[in-house]
Structure 1
Amino acid sequence: MSDDKPLRWEVRQRLILIEARLIWAGCLTTQDLRGAFGISRSQASKDIALYESLAPDNLQYDLRGRCYRAARSFQPRFLHGTSREFLRALRLFDPESEHPLITLASETAAVELLEMPEREFDVVTLQRVNTAIRERLQLRVDYQSMRVPEPRPLQLSPIALVHTGLRWHLRAFSLSHERFIDVLLSRMRGVPELLDEPAMSADEDWEWKSIVPVRIGAHPGLSAHQRAVIETDYNMQAGVLERRLRIALVPYYLRLMNVGKDDRKRPPEQQQIILLNPEELSELDRLA
């Protein structure tokens, strides 16, 4: 993952594709580089030679397949080689895109992605919200809450944008509510209005600036072999997956991981992971 000297951006992109093909496609030819970047065969050969000089133990030539393959001693240099990187490439796939990893993903036919629908909002909304955060200005928005039947105006002092894994919201102090709240961007009606009023500092938001540990583990009702599989699934260390999170984000993380204070009451085959420190988190106002 480290470089001895800086590489030009376009060269680095070609080296990334070389490594990606070795990791996920299992083979590499000069045509892969030529097709992805529109370069000559000689340039493609030079790129492979450069990669081999930077990572001499990473590839070997397969005479029968007429391609390069990852050697047994392969160690990623430009990527991590994780499933997360592969998933990111698949999510970004666009036939017209010129990103090298997306080019690789386009050849992966036997993969299907099942994802939640995106909560859509106007691009101008995102522009105004980002401007307000960057320039520390207040916003006025018409907001459709599920608690009232009609949209109502809110005056907000924005803190940060948050993606919870499912949707986007704005963390802000609501002058209308006189407290910090989370406002979904997809439920803003019309275009937010920038106000010539200074926004509050994030330091005034205790739930935003305070960090707490969230610990997750395998359900104790599982067998030792089952627990070992779960611990590997979630890359747990010593049987624990720990994340240190802002208090304001803890409820969203628990919802995303489908864990909570009653985990141990559910059958282990249904609730395979549990929240290990519910007592510690239950003392927080947001989780009470």
Structure 2
Amino acid sequence: MNHDMLRRFAFIEARLLWGGGLTARELGEIFGIARQNAQHTIESYRCQHPGQMRYDRRQRRHVRAETFATNYIRNDVARFLDYQRAVAHTAHFFDEPDWADLPFTDADTLVRPIYDKQAVRFVLEALRLHSAVQIEYWAKRSSGIRCISPHQLVYADGRYHLRAYCHERLAYLDFVLPRIVSAELSNEQWIPETGDSEWHERVNLLFVINPSLPESVKAALRLDYLREGQELLVLTGIRKALAYYIYARLGRIDQRFGLPLWKPIVD
């Protein structure tokens, strides 16, 4: 099956699961294909996955059957919402508002750091080509010129970071992307991420709701993050290099109460 058909089948399942079904016209509008081709896609999906949908004559649309099960998407609410966020960002990137499937506003984009276009262009090129790059980096303690081998783009705390090997410090470090003020490709040998033990090592993080918070706030946090009967927020399989960002996020002081909402449980 080609990539385009996989995307269409995934869209069909997403609409069946989260959108109350779909019509051939809707499928055609999303993918820019004729209604006849869209109907053919729906029939192809129905033939390959019988028992997944039925046609509701009252609603005049294909809806989820009782025996429906996902084959091309994750049956997970958070992942679906992440997908909608990604689709909304894609619509902004292509400057095509109709690309988005649902009305979506990302408040995190209202305040953004400033990135140097030329520097980021070289950094991303080096990341894609497995090349070393020389950067001018501003840091609180040690600003200056350094050579790095970039490995991973990371989004955390409202900005983009770069996980890379620092040729000067001889260590794998995180670099805040907006603090790279200039960059150019380097002739130094690119160092792979195989030696980055903190990136490859996985850890489990445990948090408990701050007992000093008002009962109403604790009840709201349980509803937001804990399943019934749970008392601990357990995050499993977290890359050790990323644990800092999670501790920082959950341990941040809440302005309403002057307290962190969560407290870590450290072995």
Does TM-score exceed 0.5, indicating one fold?
yes
Equivalent pairs counted in the alignment come to 257
Cα-to-partner distance string for 1:245-285 (whole Å, 9 max, x where unaligned) = 343322112123x138x99xxx8xx75544232xx3xxxxx
User: Which amino acid letter does the alignment assign opposite residue 44 of structure 1?
Assistant: A
Structure 1: which 5+ runs fail to align?
Answer: 1-6, 281-288
Aligned match of 2:185 in 166, 172, 194? 194
1:114 correspondence with 2:113: no
What's 2:163 paired with?
171
Shift of 1:130: 4.2
**What are the equivalent positions in structure 2 for 1:139-178 lying under 5 Å apart?**
139-147=133-141, 152-165=143-156, 166-176=158-168
Query: C-alpha distance in 2, partners of 1:26/1:54?
Result: 21
Q: Structure 1 74/218 Cα, relative in aligned 2: closer, same or farther at 3 Å?
A: farther
1:9 aligned partner, one-letter code: H
Give the deviation of 1:228 after TM superposition.
Answer: 11
CA distance in 2, matches of 1:49, 1:143: 55
CA distance in 2 between partners of 1:176 and 1:96 (Å): 36
Asked if structure 1 preserves the Cα contact closer than 8 Å seen for 2:116 and 2:181, the reply is no
CA contact (8 A) 1:62 1:68 kept: yes
Deviation per CA, 1:29-85: give whole Å up to 9, x if none. 121122223433333222222222233332222222211222233222221243422
- What TM-score do you get using the length of structure 1 for normalisation? 0.69
Which residue of the partner structure matches residue 65 of structure 1?
59
Check if 1:35 corresponds to 2:26.
no
Q: Deviations over 1:206-255 (max 9, x none)?
A: 544544322235556898xx779737735699655223334332211212
Q: Which of 234, 239, 248 is residue 241 of structure 1 equivalent to? A: 234
3-state DSSP of counterpart to 2:115: coil
Cα separation, partners in 2 of 1:114 and 1:33, compared to 1, 3 Å? same
CA-CA distance at 1:141 after TM superposition: 1.8
Equivalent position to 2:40, from 42, 46, 60: 46
Residue 203 of structure 2 corresponds to 212
Output the CA distance in 2 between the equivalents of 1:220 and 1:228.
13
2:80 corresponds, among 85, 89, 114, to 85
Aligned pairs for 1:10-29 (under 5 A) are 10-29=4-23
Identical residues among aligned pairs (%): 22
Q: Structure 2: how far apart are the matches of 1:271 and 1:176?
A: 36
Question: CA, structure 1 residues 195+44, in 2 after alignment: closer, same or farther (shift >3 Å)?
Answer: closer
C-alpha separation between the residues in 1 aligned to 2:35 and 2:207?
51
How high is the TM-score relative to the length of structure 2?
Answer: 0.73
In structure 2, the gaps of 5 or more residues are: none
Q: 1:30 to 1:162 in 2, by over 3 A?
A: closer
Deviations, residues 101-136 of structure 1 (Å, cap 9, x unaligned): x96744x34x54322534343454344334545665
User: CA, structure 1 residues 218+70, in 2 after alignment: closer, same or farther (shift >3 Å)?
Assistant: farther
8 A contact 1:154–1:174 mirrored in 2: no
Q: Deviations over 1:170-221 (max 9, x none)?
A: 334445556554222211123x122222244545555445443222355568
